[in-house]
Structure formats: C-alpha cells, structure tokens
Amino acid sequence: MKNNQKPRAVFDTNVWLSGLIFGGKPGQLIKLFGNDAFLIVVSEELLSELRRKITQRFPLYKSSLDLLEMSLRKDTELVKLGSQTVTICRDPDDNKVIETALIGECRFIVSGDKDLLVLGSYNNIKIVKPAQFLEILSTA
C-alpha cells in the first residue's frame, strides 16, 4: 500500500465463520488481523449476523465467538449503517456488507459469497476471496 497505509477491508461474516470453525485461508486472515496487518471495518449488523449464525449452526464455538467479538469490538473501526443505501446485490442481505465498506471507506471486501464475488467491485471497492486478499497483503 502506498505511504505505508494499511489496507482497509470488510470481512463478510462467512470469512469470520470459516476462519473460526475451519481455519484455512480465512483462518490465516484472522491470525493476520491479530498482527495488525490491515484495518478491519465492521458494523453492528455484521456482528449480529455473525453471532446469530454461529449460535444457530455452531453452538460449540460460542466461547471462541465471544473472544473474537471482543477483539473485533476493540481492534476494528465500527461504522453505523443507514447513511447510504445500497441495492446492488442479488441477495439483499449482502447489501449491508457493501454499505459497511462504503461508509468505512474500504478498498476491499473479503468474501466467499458468490452473490458478492460476482460483482467483482463496487465504487472502487474490490470484492475478493480470502486467498486473493492474502496475496494482495503479501505484495503490499
């Protein structure tokens, strides 16, 4: 990144969920998040969705979620949604991910969701898979 600026990114809830439960590339990103390699932007809506999905689908990971959420609240930039309206996604639930990125002035959305990935980018925000974001970080 130019001027040693850390990249600003929104991680879709599926990235946090995959990293927490399965590891892999999303898990590598979670570890890098702890190392301060980039700035994560979140919204209450995304945190609520993550909490709901883990509680419903993976209740055994509730304590891991509690630790992750505590870290997210402490080490990310929390934005308030509602000042912009996005209606571009074929899955309306995904619009809040883009809205979070817009309000948070992010350069990247990291997601495994085909409904977001099909867009490629939105308003100069690149929508990439976790592996692509790892590659971007390694060349920064």
Instruction: Please provide the DSSP assignment of 96-128 as one string.
Output: HHHHHHHHTT-SEEE---HHHHTT-EETTEEEE
51-100 tens-digit pLDDT? 999 999 999 998 888 998 999 999 999 999 987 788 788 888 899 999 99
95-127 tens-digit pLDDT? 999 999 999 999 999 999 999 999 999 999 999
Which tokens in the block code for residue 98?
A: 């883009």
Per the structure, the count of domains in the chain is: 1
Report if pTM > 0.95.
no
Can you point out the beta strands (E) in 12-135? 39-43, 77-79, 108-110, 121-122, 125-128
- Whole-number Å distance between alpha carbons of 97 and 89: 10
CATH number at 111 reads: 3.40.50.1010
* Structural domain boundaries, residue 35: 2-139
